[in-house]
């Protein structure tokens, strides 16, 4: 009798566990544009910035079912990242100091006017009046963008390394370098200082921050770093995929992972030590870039163009 009761309890617990893994939201395509090729995508202020090596296209998605183009730019050197602010300043990154940005006149659109500025960096992230940029050789640079003309550099910071990827959560900047993960305290903008690091990561390519966890994509492996104590970041989980990780983005208890050859995976990260796959969206040629806005997911899918998915 006791054995039967125990088995019933275990079966019930297993059933509850399976229910918790089910996704109660639906994923569907609301928009797909095959042109332009979308190496990367960013969403800022009801606009979507779609770009590849040579061109940046800016769309308004006031109508999510039919985004309209506002303007476009060409670049003489490969674009590495784009950032924008509410006052319609667009910062276009490349790794070439002599890069030239030109607005395309042939679109004949009546869109909004944007003001383009070039930057020397591979990643850019704005927060308030500050613009944080990272460079594979020069490390971290912080700019004051409150004056709205050219960004005014406040400080440059590197300790014999550059930054491959970074994300600013003031007063901490989280970064990946050739050795692994590092976090930098920038509360005093004139004197940034390295707080903690974890050099157990090999080939870290992309990161995102979600509460006290930094998620890192390194090859086919997703790593969770606990930064409850920033001085001693600790790897608490590894999750293996069957394809290389190109992009990751976190929101609430979900992690969105773009894979090189199999598309989008949505993970439940309520418990960062016990990751569960909730949903997926298959794309044969993979997902290069991800951004999020409310219940919408924006995907840059290379030669397949770009997508807007509804997820609710």
Q: What is the pLDDT of residue 87?
A: 77
Q: Which two tokens stand for residue 105?
A: 């006149």
Beta pairing, strands 213-218 & 55-60: unpaired
- CATH number for the region 24-311 comes to 2.130.10.10
Residues 62-110: tens digit of each pLDDT:
999 999 999 999 999 999 999 998 878 999 999 999 999 999 875 555 6
3-state secondary structure of 113: coil
Phi, psi of 8 (to 5 degrees): -65, -40
Each of the 312 residues of the chain gets a pLDDT tens digit; together they read 555 545 444 444 444 444 444 578 899 999 999 988 999 999 998 899 999 999 999 999 999 999 999 999 999 999 999 999 887 899 999 999 999 999 987 555 567 788 999 999 999 999 989 999 999 999 999 999 988 778 999 999 998 889 999 999 999 999 999 999 999 999 999 999 999 999 999 999 999 999 999 999 999 999 999 999 999 999 999 999 999 999 999 999 999 999 999 899 999 999 999 999 999 999 999 999 999 998 999 999 999 999 999 998
Beta bridge partners of 57: 50, 72
- CA Rg value for the chain: 21
**CB of 233 within 8 A of CB of 181?**
yes
Q: What is the pLDDT of residue 226?
A: 98
CA dihedral 284, 289, 304, 81 (to 10 degrees): -150
Q: What is the pLDDT of residue 18?
A: 42
CA distances from 222 to 191, 217, 275 (A): 32, 5, 10
Residues 284-297: tens digit of each pLDDT:
999 999 999 989 99
Provide the terminal-to-terminal Cα distance of the chain, rounded to the nearest Å: 45
Among the listed residues 90, 87, 30, the one whose alpha carbon sits nearest the alpha carbon of residue 56? 90
Handedness of CA 272, 275, 279, 281 (dihedral sign): positive
Beta pairing, strands 68-75 & 263-268: unpaired
pTM listed for this prediction:
0.89
- Which residue matches tokens 């500050």? 130
Beta bridge partners of 269: none
d(CA 237, CA 247): 18
């Amino acid at each position: 009798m006791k054995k039967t009761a125990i088995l019933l309890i275990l079966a019930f617990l297993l059933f509850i566990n399976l229910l918790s893994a089910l996704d109660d939201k639906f994923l569907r395509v609301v928009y797909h544009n095959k042109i332009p090729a979308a190496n990367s995508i960013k969403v800022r202020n009801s606009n979507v910035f779609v770009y590849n090596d040579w061109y940046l296209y800016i769309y308004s998605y006031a109508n999510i079912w039919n985004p309209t183009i506002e303007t476009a730019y060409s670049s003489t050197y490969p674009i590495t990242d784009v950032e924008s602010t509410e006052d319609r300043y667009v910062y276009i990154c490349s790794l070439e100091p002599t890069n030239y940005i030109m607005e395309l006149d042939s679109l004949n659109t009546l869109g909004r006017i944007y003001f383009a500025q070039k930057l020397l960096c591979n990643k850019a992230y704005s927060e308030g009046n500050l613009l944080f940029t990272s460079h594979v050789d020069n490390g971290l640079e912080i700019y004051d963008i409150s004056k709205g003309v050219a960004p005014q550099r406040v400080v440059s910071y590197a300790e014999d390394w550059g930054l491959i990827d970074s994300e600013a959560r003031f007063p901490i900047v989280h970064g990946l370098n050739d050795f692994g993960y590092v976090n930098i305290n920038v509360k005093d903008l004139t004197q940034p200082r390295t707080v903690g690091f974890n050099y157990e990561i090999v080939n870290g390519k992309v990161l995102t921050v979600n509460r006290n966890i930094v998620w890192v994509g390194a090859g086919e492996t997703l790593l969770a770093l606990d930064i409850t104590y920033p001085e001693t970041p600790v790897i608490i989980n590894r999750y293996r995929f069957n394809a290389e990780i190109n992009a990751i983005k976190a929101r609430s208890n979900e992690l969105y992972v773009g894979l090189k050859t199999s598309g989008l995976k949505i993970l439940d990260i309520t418990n960062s030590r016990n990751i569960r796959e909730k949903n997926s969206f298959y794309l044969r040629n993979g997902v290069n870039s991800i951004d999020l806005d409310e219940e919408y997911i924006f995907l840059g899918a290379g030669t397949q163009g770009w997508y807007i998915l509804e997820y609710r």
